[in-house]
Structures are given as C-alpha cells and as structure tokens.
Structure 1
C-alpha cells in the first residue's frame, strides 16, 4: 500500500521531469481536477442528505400524527414459512375495532405460522385502514445519511470511470506519438 502511495506521489510531482510528455501532464491535470471535484462533492452530498432527511422527517411526523396503534384478531391461519427469510411475514384476514366502536375486516401482516384467533399489533390511519408502522425520526436520519453517502459514492464512481476512459484515450495518443517517433528515429538511423 505504501509503495502504491509513493508511486502516486512521484507521479503527481513529475511535472518538471523532462521525460514527462504532454499527455502525461494532461492526465495529471485531469486527476487533480477529479480529486478536487470529488472533494467538492462532499458538501453537495451533505446538502442532498440533509434535504432528504428533512423531507423524510416531515413525512414521519405526519405519519406519527395520523396513525394510531391498535390490535387485530386473525380470522385465518398464516401459512408456515419456508426456509427463505423473506417469507417470515405474510398477510392474513383479520378484524379490528375502530376508535368509534365499529368493526373493520381486512388483510394485515403477521408472522408466518400464526394461528387464527391470535391478536397482532397493527397501525390504523385516520380512515381506520390497516397501514404500515409510521416512520420514526431515526428512520429519517438513516435515510438522509444513506442518500447523502450514495450520492457522493455515485459521483466519485462516475469520476473514476471518466478518468479511466480519459486514460484509455490518452494511452492511444501516447502510443501513436511513440510509433511516430520510432518511425522518425528509424528513418534517421537508415541515413547513417
């Protein structure tokens, strides 16, 4: 690792080297610009993550204000789970009481293998429908951090790909220049 870092530092400081060609200098300039852009994307990614966190926190607050916990009684058995962890939770027909005393029937989520007659916790919206648990402020924070990190990593990945493509194109130019110089050298050598 230290050897790799040392080679990169020597490469970046080789602007004054007489053996450094114009395409090498151009590539070094591209790398410096790419690093500066990657560092400049940090505050952009932070602001994106902050905006997403604020929006998700507002949605979470609205969900917390409009949803109430309740209990449903399963009317049917929930099928047993197979070996896949994705099938641990299923939906089943259930009934629950609304705050005004009316009874409502619908499908709710329950763990695999739960028997009919079992009471399961649910969340109700203002209309009395079974809905997902409201998001918390911690969920909003996690979403904001995830989106911010993803946006920065995606921008850095794009910069890496662009630098790689530029290097491939510059290598073609280097090889063409080298072939032209060898042809000139060979022609001059034949004159002697």
Structure 2
C-alpha cells in the first residue's frame, strides 16, 4: 500500500510538496511509460492473433496435403553413440525403409530412424501426396503456442524497452540533480568562507 501511495505521489505531487521540476518530469515520464505499456498490450495481442490466423491456415493446408503412414525399416538404424562428455545420445539418421500409401502403392526410401532401432522396426512418418517423407504438419497446439509466444514476447520486449528507457531517463535526471546539488553545496561553502 505504501509503495502504491509513493508511486501516486511521484506521478501527481501534492500541492505544497518539495517536489522539484525534475521530480515532476520523472513522474510525467513514469505515467507516459505506463500508458505506453498499456497501449502495447493490445498491439502485441493483435500480432499474436495475426500469427494464429496465418499459422492456422498453414496447418490446415499441411494437414490436407500430408498423410501419416507406417514405415518399416529395411536396415538397422544407426548405432547408439553416447557423447562421453554429456552422456547424451545423438540424433537419428536416414535409414532405408518401406511404407504403404493410402492408395495401396508401396514406396521405398529413406526415413530418419533413431539410434539403436533394428531392421523390421515400424515407425509413423508423414508423407506428401507423392508419397515422399516430409516433416509433420503444424499441430493445433503448435499454432496456439506460437501465437501466444509471439504476442507475449512482443509485449515483454516492449516492457523491457520501456523500462530501459525509463531507467536511462531517471539516471540522466539523477545526474542533473546531483550536479545541481553539488553546485549549491559549493556556493554555500563559498558563502561560508567569505563571511
């Protein structure tokens, strides 16, 4: 409660307060920064909404053009390799496999098989209309996550930029105030020594 009251007094110094002009400028800057942060929220949400709409169309197009089929490995996958430093197993590699298309045509080609998989192992893959392996389509959850990340990321970036600009402004105002205080101090010292 005390912090809110201090912020309110910084924004709107009461009559008869000892607020300097630089304090009033700082309060005005704080109000402007808060206003810009509030304006940035719907703008960021709009970008997130645009991202959602465009990626939803892309996801629908990909789901229409791609089909999930089951591939059977014709050879063993890559050997298991463990990184001696991290203990992390490496990624899969292209391996010969066969799969049946929805129209009954059998295709042979390369699919990415995990390390340690053996000949005859089956795995789900996505294929295009020609039966060639492709990346999985963008999922509905992926579309929502991307939209939220874009919108929230833009708003947080705007907040960080505004906070940095406000901090820089306050730093500059403090330097001006300290310089003025020092001048007043030296003037007071000069008056003491000459009197």
Q: TM-score, normalised by structure 1?
A: 0.86
The residue aligned with 2:157 is 154
Q: CA deviation at 1:4?
A: 4.1
Conserved? CA contact 2:76–2:116, under 8 Å: no
SS in structure 1 at match of 2:98: strand
SS in structure 1 at match of 2:92: strand
1:53 matched to 2:20? The reply is no
Q: In the aligned structure 1, how far is the partner of 2:6 from the partner of 2:21?
A: 19
Q: In the aligned structure 2, how far is the partner of 1:81 from the partner of 1:142?
A: 33
Distance 1:157 1:103, change over 3 A: same
Q: In the aligned structure 2, how far is the partner of 1:34 from the partner of 1:111?
A: 51
Conserved? CA contact 2:92–2:114, under 8 Å: yes
Q: CA deviation at 1:131?
A: 1.2
Conserved? CA contact 1:90–1:112, under 8 Å: yes
Q: In the aligned structure 2, how far is the partner of 1:18 from the partner of 1:185?
A: 23
Deviations 1:95-127 (A, max 9, x none): 323446242311x23343221221111000123
Conserved? CA contact 2:40–2:158, under 8 Å: yes
The residue aligned with 2:76 is 76
Alignment of 1:123-142 (within 5 A): 123-142=126-145
**Alignment gaps of 5+ in structure 1:** none
Q: CA deviation at 1:16?
A: 3.4
SS in structure 1 at match of 2:43: helix
Conserved? CA contact 2:77–2:113, under 8 Å: no
The residue aligned with 1:31 is 30
Say what the alpha-carbon RMSD is for the aligned residues: 2.2
Q: CA deviation at 1:57?
A: 0.4
Alignment length, in residue pairs?
188
Q: In the aligned structure 1, how far is the partner of 2:44 from the partner of 2:16?
A: 37
The residue aligned with 1:117 is 120
SS in structure 2 at match of 1:128: coil
Q: CA deviation at 1:147?
A: 0.6
Deviations 1:148-185 (A, max 9, x none): 00000000000001111111111111111111222222
Deviations 1:118-142 (A, max 9, x none): 1111000123221121112222111
The farther-off stretch of 109-118 and 146-155 is 109-118
Q: TM-score, normalised by structure 2?
A: 0.85
Q: CA deviation at 1:7?
A: 3.6
The farther-off stretch of 75-84 and 35-44 is 75-84
